[in-house]
Amino acid sequence: MVRMLSKPKLKSSEVEVQFPTLLMTRKYQEVDALNAALGELVTKLEKEAKNVADETTNIGGFHSDSKLMNRPEPEILMLREMIGVAVKEYIDRYFKDNCAEPPKDLKIRMWGWGINMREGDGNSQHVHPDAKISGVYYPVIPSGQLGGSKAKPGGAIMFSDPRPRAHMNPVQNQITEIVVPPEPGMMILFPSYYEHAVIPFRGPGVRTCIAFNAHF
Ligand SMILES: [Fe+2]
């Protein structure tokens, strides 16, 4: 005897994003004077202070110590305030997407450092193991074509898929890297575990950035 089967009707189907990786991009305007002051400060430090680039993942260039945010210059105070607001907004969203409940009694500690890069300088793939949230503000970026390729332009920051086994059986055209070309007045924030690198650029000029960490 043949059993008669009725065709199942779909009751529900949902797709959700799980374990998201949050990249925040902020763009500021009316920052010409701030950016000039920050660029001059990092270049002054390059002449006067110790270069710790060799102790980091940076390839060439100048890397200040990690006490930049403790300095008294008005441009640093202003940048600290901007970063503070950005970190607060970022962690609100981060907790919403990553925590069963928001953590209580947060004491956020922040620190940062300045980097100057010139033609050929870069930064190999790395994470920031001593922090929870990291970010970077770009006061000075050389203009024009900076070499590299269309997909990986010179001077861009490049993030790699942080999911441990996501490359196991890649499908055709799978996105494994996300490239963000910087521009003056731009700030990005990301989880400190998110692997990233800086693609070396070609051409004249200085690429100045101020990187920061937040831990709590
Ligand atoms: Fe970094």
So what's the pLDDT on residue 145? Answer: 86
pLDDT at 1: 80
- d(CA 8, ligand 1 centre) in Å: 52
Ligand 1 centre distance from Cα of residue 197 (Å): 7
Residue 167: which pLDDT band, with cuts at 50, 70 and 90? confident
Mean pLDDT of the 193-205 span: 96
CA of 57 to the centre of ligand 1 (A): 8
Rounded to the nearest angstrom, the distance between the alpha carbon of 128 and the centre of ligand 1 is 6
pTM recorded for the entire structure: 0.94
pLDDT, tens digit, 9 for 90 and up, residues 27-57: 999 999 999 999 999 999 999 999 999 999 9
Share of the chain above pLDDT 90, in %: 97
Identify which of 183, 114, 180 has the alpha carbon closest to the alpha carbon of residue 144: 183
Phi, psi of 87 (to 5 degrees): -60, -40
Whole-number Å distance, alpha carbon 4 to ligand 1 midpoint, is: 62
Over residues 97-132, the pLDDT tens digits come to 999 999 999 999 999 999 999 999 999 999 999 999
25-98+108-165+175-215: which CATH architecture?
A: Sandwich (2.60)
Q: Where are the domains of the chain?
A: 25-98+108-165+175-215
Å from CA of 216 to ligand 1 middle: 18
**Does the pLDDT of residue 144 top 90, yes or no?**
no
Q: What's the pLDDT band for 2 if we cut at 50, 70, 90? A: confident
